[in-house]
């Protein structure tokens, strides 16, 4: 497009105007052309400048060839200075006739401006170079006008407290999207300008600041030892990076059909094949097993996924589940975010039940930091770093609710205490139907830091395991540091558990998933000794949209048809269909069953990483009690990626350094031949293939469970999570840093040790539970053996450097009392003698424990 390079005010001496044919010729051959030589009464207005810019954007449109405007020089200067968000640098320009020119900066080459005389305003447009940046002048008033128009259509929520609900934040997101759309149409912005230039406008100088949430524009941070629940201040320079309720980040420009918000379409301009057609054609249930990964890979992967991502979407206000307000309602009663999944009439499964549609809603539009403008982008309800929010929640308020208030402990349900067995998670008593299918009103699911704890029983087991680990560590710390209060015990236990999660993820999970070569390439290999000084405050740890909507959903390919229970002797007991365990974790209320499911996770092989997906999630997902069909997870993956504007599989191949393919034949070798043949039967072009579908269909890399594209996207995310987290457990020289001795203890931890410490019956286990046992490379060992060492938590002993006031109190009162007896009434008035004695003997016990003495 072209831009206004120069605006010239000149006495009207020229007769006529530049012929259209001459203008076209000049516009095609030269980079610059001057036009719009005519006259009209009145003064320069913002509209005139907008009109001029429209001419520059579309120099071949004869209908706006002439701009008719003239007026006083001061009016022009005032217009430019008050209206433009960018000050244009105007170059000097003289015409061949050497007539005097008046420029917007007030200079003149010959004579002075004479008020009241007719003048001509000339606009000189320069064609922008193809790769250059835009200098389109979008005025603050133009933004304000778009804001006023949008407010007429959109009712923006104004919470009375500082807590923004997702649905409230979405109203601001809708407003910003409407303003962006208005400006894009008014100025004819290109896709590149929408993505790169529009967000540069400082909206704090416009009316938008009236509705901008404070936490996105005004955050004050101070370095501290413990991270916030909401992720704010993870980066001191950019406080919102990686925080809750902030946008996913993009590594590729989105592909919206209209450049702003409409879901992706084919590169040919036609619609993409229906999501259900892609699901049934490309991802049938063939049930292969061709690797040594256990179901524990899926369990840990989903536990990590729920630490990373939860897209903000509309929810049913009653039970906070996905709304069923699309398929069976007339248009005027549908949820405004409806983007239902249509099912073809000849579907092999759903036609049996006359199902023609599945409810699906679009994600809420995000509010960028500073309320910047741009295309639609969804937001994450969770934090972008591995911080154990699955255990501790994402708000301080909810985090408090999960705690007992004493000993640094989390609330648990001692349902098996009479049997001497460990506790389960607490009951979910408020909004009991949220994420839970209850057979009757007396049955309750579980409560944890993340609302999807009950999504499937395997995931509930992981939540239970890590909550028990927190309480185990908190109790040990309390014994070592009896002077610590509840808050200190909780925060220190939380800090250690987060470090354990990070260590297991990078030391056990990612090597199986990505392989050593990919991890080395992306800088994911952990240090064996000392600290790792790799924090980079220029790295944004926020979750990548393609990671959330596609790549980290790789585990859907690994899901088994049934989940198995095994005995402590590693013998198969029984299994249950996966669809019967989704949102129904009630088996765990049977004594001993928790351990049997954990044993099953370590002994049951996962399905192959390929394009085959079990019907338990393609036909029976979230199946209601008594129903014979459910939803289709694969269709959801496809629909979500398209409405996110996620570019195609082919574009991510190119991003990851793989060759582009213009024909399906060029994909041979990267995935099975039959897969390529099926793709060619439903897609018009290889560049139409959805990222999730193409990613799970790739042949795995050597030593990896994933193909090159998914490995690239996932490794990029985990690189951001490590390099962009100021609280990363290996870092030195931070208030949150562990000592060398403490870090060495954390490095000892394996998932097998966590399982041994937090189950009742398991007494032998393979060293790496995410891999099937093998006598040579992954043998089963006794939990009590030294092969699985635990952390020595005495490295966290804090005596006598903390709580100095307590010790001074003991010294000042008790010791002084010995040397100089005080009156009984003074003792009663000045301090509580029993409290002082308690503190004294707790201190003695602390010293004894620290020195290793026994009673």
* Domains in the chain with CATH codes: 28-57+64-86 (no CATH), 152-313+362-793 (1.10.640.10)
pLDDT value, residue 231: 95
pLDDT value, residue 556: 85
- The secondary structure of residue 207, as a DSSP letter, is G
pLDDT value, residue 707: 95
Q: Other CB atoms closer than 10 Å to residue 240's CB: what's the count?
A: 24
What are the residues whose beta carbons fall under 8 Å from the beta carbon of 30, sequence distance 6 or more? 127
pLDDT value, residue 317: 80
Structure token pair of residue 370: 């500073």
pLDDT value, residue 647: 97
* Block residue for tokens 């009757």: 440
| Of 386, 402, 463, 455, residue with least CA distance to 754 | 463
- Model confidence at 850: pLDDT above 70: no
pLDDT value, residue 135: 57
- Model confidence at 821: pLDDT above 70: no
pLDDT tens digits, residue range 466-508? Answer: 999 999 999 999 999 999 999 999 999 999 999 999 999 999 9
- Percent of the chain having pLDDT more than 70? 77
Q: Which residue has the higher pLDDT, 323 or 367?
A: 367
How many angstroms separate the Cα of 772 from the Cα of each of 2, 299, 602? 63, 14, 7
End-to-end CA distance of the chain: 84
pLDDT tens digits, residue range 226-280? Answer: 999 999 999 999 999 999 999 999 999 999 999 999 999 999 999 999 999 999 9
Asked if 727 and 741 touch (Cβ cutoff 8 Å), the reply is no
Structure token pair of residue 86: 């960018």
Structure token pair of residue 746: 């954390």
- Model confidence at 773: pLDDT above 60: yes
Q: Other CB atoms closer than 10 Å to residue 651's CB: what's the count?
A: 17
Using DSSP, state whether 272 is helix, strand or coil.
coil
Asked if 352 and 454 touch (Cβ cutoff 8 Å), the reply is no
pLDDT tens digits, residue range 415-449? Answer: 999 999 999 999 999 999 999 999 889 999 999 99
What is the DSSP pairing of strand 780-782 with strand 341-342? unpaired
Q: What average pLDDT does the structure give for the chain?
A: 81
- Model confidence at 830: pLDDT above 90: no
Query: DSSP states of 111-126 as a string?
Result: ----TTS-EEEEEEEE
**Whether 306 is catalytic:** yes
Maximum pairwise Cα distance, the chain: 112
Averaged pLDDT for residues 616-637: 87
* Block residue for tokens 């003695």: 844
pLDDT tens digits, residue range 162-207? Answer: 789 999 999 999 999 999 999 999 999 999 999 999 999 999 999 9
pLDDT value, residue 127: 35
| Of 220, 245, 246, residue with least CA distance to 233 | 220
pLDDT value, residue 842: 52
Catalytic residue among 101, 229, 291, 306: 306
- The secondary structure of residue 456, as a DSSP letter, is B
pLDDT value, residue 637: 94
* Block residue for tokens 């992306």: 522
- Model confidence at 51: pLDDT above 90: no
Using DSSP, state whether 573 is helix, strand or coil.
strand
pLDDT band at 291 (very low <50, low <70, confident <90, very high): low
Asked if 49 and 187 touch (Cβ cutoff 8 Å), the reply is no
pLDDT band at 336 (very low <50, low <70, confident <90, very high): very high
pLDDT value, residue 625: 76
Averaged pLDDT for residues 615-619: 87
Of 90-99, 298-307, 328-337, the range with the lowest mean pLDDT is 90-99
pLDDT tens digits, residue range 705-733? Answer: 999 999 999 999 999 999 999 999 999 99
**Does the annotation list 813 as a binding residue?**
no
pLDDT value, residue 86: 29
State the Cα–Cα distance between residues 381 and 501, nearest whole angstrom: 20
Of 323-337, 404-418, 451-465, 764-778, the range with the lowest mean pLDDT is 323-337
Residue 263 backbone phi and psi in degrees, to 5? -55, 155
* pTM of structure: 0.79
State the Cα–Cα distance between residues 732 and 749, nearest whole angstrom: 20
Averaged pLDDT for residues 146-158: 94
State the Cα–Cα distance between residues 728 and 526, nearest whole angstrom: 12
- Percent of the chain having pLDDT more than 90? 65
State the Cα–Cα distance between residues 634 and 407, nearest whole angstrom: 44
Residue 503 backbone phi and psi in degrees, to 5? -65, -45
What are the residues whose beta carbons fall under 8 Å from the beta carbon of 7, sequence distance 6 or more? 52, 76, 80, 90, 103, 104, 121, 122, 123, 124
Q: Which residue has the higher pLDDT, 13 or 135?
A: 135
Radius of gyration of the chain (CA): 33
- Model confidence at 111: pLDDT above 50: no
pLDDT value, residue 81: 36
State the Cα–Cα distance between residues 350 and 850, nearest whole angstrom: 66
Structure token pair of residue 75: 């009016």
Averaged pLDDT for residues 37-59: 42
Q: Which residue has the higher pLDDT, 737 or 854?
A: 737
- Model confidence at 691: pLDDT above 60: yes
Q: Which residue has the higher pLDDT, 808 or 664?
A: 664
Using DSSP, state whether 446 is helix, strand or coil.
strand
pLDDT tens digits, residue range 630-649? Answer: 899 999 999 999 999 999 99
């Amino acid at each position: 497009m072209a831009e206004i390079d120069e605006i010239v005010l000149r006495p009207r001496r020229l007769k006529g105007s530049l012929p259209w044919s001459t203008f076209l010729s000049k516009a095609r051959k030269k980079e610059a052309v001057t036009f719009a030589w005519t006259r009209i009464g009145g003064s320069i207005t913002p509209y005139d400048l907008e009109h001029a810019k429209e001419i520059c954007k579309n120099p071949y449109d004869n209908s706006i060839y002439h701009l008719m405007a003239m007026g006083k020089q001061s009016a022009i200067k005032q217009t430019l200075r008050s209206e433009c968000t960018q000050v244009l640098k105007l170059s000097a320009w003289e015409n061949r006739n050497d007539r005097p020119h008046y420029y917007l900066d007030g200079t003149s080459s010959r004579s002075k401006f004479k008020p009241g005389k007719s003048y001509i305003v000339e606009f000189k447009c320069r064609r922008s170079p193809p790769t250059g940046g835009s200098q389109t002048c979008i005025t603050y008033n133009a933004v304000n006008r778009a804001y006023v128009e949008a407010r007429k259509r959109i009712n923006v929520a104004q919470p009375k407290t500082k807590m923004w609900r997702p649905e409230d934040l979405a109203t601001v997101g809708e407003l910003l999207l409407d303003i962006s759309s208005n400006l894009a149409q008014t100025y004819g912005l290109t896709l590149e300008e929408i993505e790169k230039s529009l967000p540069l406008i400082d909206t704090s100088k416009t009316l938008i600041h009236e509705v901008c949430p404070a936490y996105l524009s005004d955050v004050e941070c101070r370095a501290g030892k413990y991270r916030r629940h909401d992720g704010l201040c993870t980066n001191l320079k950019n406080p919102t990076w990686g925080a809750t309720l902030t946008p996913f980040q993009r590594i590729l420009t989105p592909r919206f059909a209209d450049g702003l918000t409409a879901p992706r379409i084919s590169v040919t301009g036609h619609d993409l094949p229906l999501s259900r057609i892609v699901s049934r054609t490309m991802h049938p249930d063939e049930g292969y097993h061709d690797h040594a990964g256990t179901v524990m890979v899926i369990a840990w992967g989903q536990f990590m996924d729920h630490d990373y991502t939860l897209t903000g979407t509309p929810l049913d206000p009653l039970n906070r589940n996905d709304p069923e307000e699309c398929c069976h309602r007339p248009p005027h009663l549908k949820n405004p975010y409806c983007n239902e999944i249509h099912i073809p009439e000849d579907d092999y499964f759903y036609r049996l039940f006359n199902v023609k549609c599945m409810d699906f809603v679009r994600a809420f539009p995000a509010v960028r930091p500073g309320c910047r403008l741009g295309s639609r982008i969804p937001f994450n309800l969770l934090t972008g770093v591995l911080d154990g929010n699955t255990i501790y929640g994402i708000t301080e308020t909810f985090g408090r609710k999960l705690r007992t208030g004493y000993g640094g402990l989390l609330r648990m349900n001692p349902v098996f205490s009479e049997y001497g067995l460990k506790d389960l998670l607490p009951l979910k008593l408020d909004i009991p139907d949220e994420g839970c299918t209850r057979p009757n009103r007396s049955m309750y699911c579980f409560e944890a830091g993340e609302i999807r704890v009950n999504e499937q029983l395997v995931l509930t087991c992981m939540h239970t395991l890590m909550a028990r680990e927190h309480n185990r560590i908190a109790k040990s710390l309390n014994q070592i540091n009896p002077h610590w209060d509840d808050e200190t015990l909780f925060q220190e236990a939380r800090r250690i558990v987060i470090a354990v999660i990070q260590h297991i993820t990078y030391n056990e999970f990612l090597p199986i998933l990505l392989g050593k070569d990919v991890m080395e390439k992306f800088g994911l290999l952990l240090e064996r000794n000392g600290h790792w000084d790799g924090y980079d405050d220029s790295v944004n740890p926020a979750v990548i949209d393609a990671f959330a909507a596609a790549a980290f959903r790789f585990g859907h390919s690994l899901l088994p048809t049934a989940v198995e229970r095994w005995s402590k002797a590693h013998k198969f007991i029984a299994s249950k269909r996966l669809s019967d365990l989704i949102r129904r974790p009630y088996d765990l209320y049977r004594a001993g069953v928790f351990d049997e499911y954990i044993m099953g996770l370590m002994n049951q092989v996962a399905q192959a990483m390929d394009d085959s997906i079990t019907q338990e999630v393609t036909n029976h997902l979230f199946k209601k009690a008594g129903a014979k069909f459910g939803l289709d997870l694969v269709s959801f993956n496809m629909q979500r990626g398209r409405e996110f504007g996620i570019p195609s599989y082919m574009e991510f191949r190119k991003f990851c350094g793989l060759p582009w393919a213009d024909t399906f034949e060029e994909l041979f070798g990267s995935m099975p031949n039959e897969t390529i043949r099926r793709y060619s039967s439903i897609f018009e072009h290889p560049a139409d293939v959805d990222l999730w579908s193409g990613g799970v269909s790739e042949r795995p890399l050597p030593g990896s469970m994933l193909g090159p594209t998914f490995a690239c996207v996932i490794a990029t995310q985990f690189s951001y999570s490590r390099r962009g987290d100021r609280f990363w457990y290996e870092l030195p020289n931070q208030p949150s840093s562990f000592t060398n001795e403490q870090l060495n203890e954390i490095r000892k931890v394996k998932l097998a040790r966590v399982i041994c410490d937090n189950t009742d019956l398991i007494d032998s286990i393979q060293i790496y539970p995410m891999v099937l046992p093998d006598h040579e490379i992954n043998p089963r060992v006794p939990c009590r053996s030294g092969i699985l060492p635990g952390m020595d938590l005495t490295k966290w002993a804090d005596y006598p450097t903390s709580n100095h006031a307590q010790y001074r109190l003991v010294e000042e009162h008790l010791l002084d009392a010995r040397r100089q007896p005080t009156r009984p009434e003074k003792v009663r008035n000045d301090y509580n003698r029993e409290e002082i004695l308690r503190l004294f003997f707790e201190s003695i016990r602390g010293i004894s424990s620290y020195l290793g003495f026994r009673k």
